[in-house]
Amino acid sequence: MTVAVPAGTSAGGLRLPAAQAAAAPPRMSFRTVALPAGSITPEGGGGTGLLELLAGRQDPVSWVRHGRGLVGWGRALCLEAAGTDRIEALRAAWRATVYASWWRDALVRPGTGPVALGTIAFSPDSAAASVLIVPRVIVGLDDAGAWLTTAVAEGEAHPDAAEVLAQMRPPASGGATASSPGAPVISPGALSETDYLATVAEVQRRMTAGEARKVVLARDLLVTPAAPLATGDLLRRLGASYPSCWTFAVDAMVGATPELLVRLENRHLASRVLAGTARRHPGDAAARAREAERLAGWLAASAKNRAEHELARASAISVLEPLCSTVEAQPPRVLTLPNVLHLATDITGVVAGDTGALSLVGALHPTAAVCGTPTAAAARIIAEVEGMDRGRYGGPVGWVDWHGEGEWCIALRSAALPPGGAGPQAPARVFGGGGIMPDSVPADELAETKAKMRPVLAALGANI
């Protein structure tokens, strides 16, 4: 059992198993204050951008899209869970912690007051812990302005807001354009490229035998940068290159994901299903624009990709309908990103009763977009042939507030960093995957994983 360390005595704060926290919740204190207008801005400009605040930081948290969202540092509380009931255990622990805590919040907007950021293991059998983390400091920005939230143990003094503001000034040396000397060392992870191709063929054989209709296979690479790279600087590179994705970091799981699992605000939910992919190639702006137009037409007409997408779309709708009073799904469209194009379906709904964001996360995960169809059969095949523990890759990542609402994505286009950041002593694990169908071409599936790894590999300094 994890030994609880009183907050304030360790940089790691209080660390508790979720079951223990639910039974005897820690008593926390939160304070949210508005920041001066213009001090934090979406693109930097006259103020400072959220991701700029993370320059040089080794263990930040981040949830930023189009320059808005949440960033933070320090750790006041960490709740941990594992196994089949890990999401529900975290939900119960967070709810109990909120009920036992006190806060002052004059803004009362999504993301203000008590907030925890989480990353959840893909599989109930994973050795990776699923966690909710309460940072000591959170800086948030939305269309109405910026705010600062501090979290401490009950009885501990909140840091002075002026002092925190002074500490927020990013160091002059940080920058999204900084480059590491030399190229990183890249080595195979669980499967070599040859082994991955063979595994795709084996999965197709099992699908043809009737075991499953779709299976999502992933692979990993081990990447050791030539010089230490702070997590905050890695995030700035990702945010600059992929502003329309959610640039996230929670407990050394980092990435820029395009797939919204669920957003819940005032009982209204939104979700985005991505399945079906076309990969893009380097070129000048005009050539890439022509290529994107051509690929969009090909993707929309591809029988294999449309079938793959429909399985994921139908799976999400079937899960949400019993939990909502209304559910509406838009027709599939093409989402264009710098490295790939996806077929995308946007889903909206109104939840019934007091269903919270983590309950929706628990119902939706694992989606057909990251596991397959039928879920149990696809998960069994993954466990038998993939050759690795995915950890938090493909699992939910996001945040939850004091009344159970929040925003959660799927941890894609991501990497698991070694403790303390991506340094030269231990490699980062970079992940990529794709949906395998009976008519998939194994070589194309391998190329798709490379395209999906490109965002993190490039941010780590790989010359690809």
Angle CA(53)–CA(451)–CA(259) in degrees, nearest 5? 60
> What pLDDT is attached to residue 7?
32
Q: What are phi and psi of 70, to 5 degrees?
A: -135, 140
Q: What integer is the mean pLDDT of 448-452?
A: 95
Rg of the chain, C-alpha, whole Å: 21
Average model confidence (pLDDT) for the chain? 91
Which DSSP symbol is given to 51? G
pLDDT of residue 420: 61
pLDDT band at residue 39, thresholds of 50, 70 and 90?
confident
Active-site annotation, residues = 214, 259
Annotate 386-420 with b (16+ C-beta within 10 A) or e (fewer): beebbbbbbbbbbbbbbbbbbbbbbbbbbbbbeee
pLDDT at 454: 94
Pair 120, 130: CB distance under 8 Å: yes
pLDDT value of residue 216 = 97
From 381-390, 391-400, 422-431, the region with the lowest mean pLDDT: 422-431
* Whole-structure pTM value: 0.92
| Helix segments in 209-302, DSSP class H | 231-241, 285-301
Q: Where are the alpha helices (DSSP H) in 260-415?
A: 285-301, 303-320, 357-364, 375-385
The more confidently predicted of residues 283 and 111 is 111
Amino acid 281: pLDDT: 84
The domain spans of the chain are: 1-173, 184-464
In this predicted structure, the answer to whether residue 176 has a pLDDT above a threshold of 80 is no
Confidence of residue 6 (pLDDT cuts 50, 70, 90): very low
- CATH class for domain 184-464? alpha beta
Is 60 exceeded by the pLDDT of residue 4?
no
Q: Is the pLDDT of residue 424 over 90?
A: no
Lowest mean pLDDT among 317-321, 406-410, 435-439, 459-463: 459-463
Q: What gap in Å lies between CA 12 and CA 73, rounded to an integer? A: 11
pLDDT digits (tens, 9 = 90+) for 180-203: 467 889 999 999 999 999 999 999
Predicted pLDDT at 462: 86
| Chain segment 202-261, per-residue pLDDT in tens | 999 999 999 999 999 999 999 998 888 899 999 999 999 999 999 999 999 999 999 999
Q: How confident is the model at residue 421 (pLDDT cuts 50, 70, 90)?
A: low
- Averaged pLDDT for residues 308-315: 94
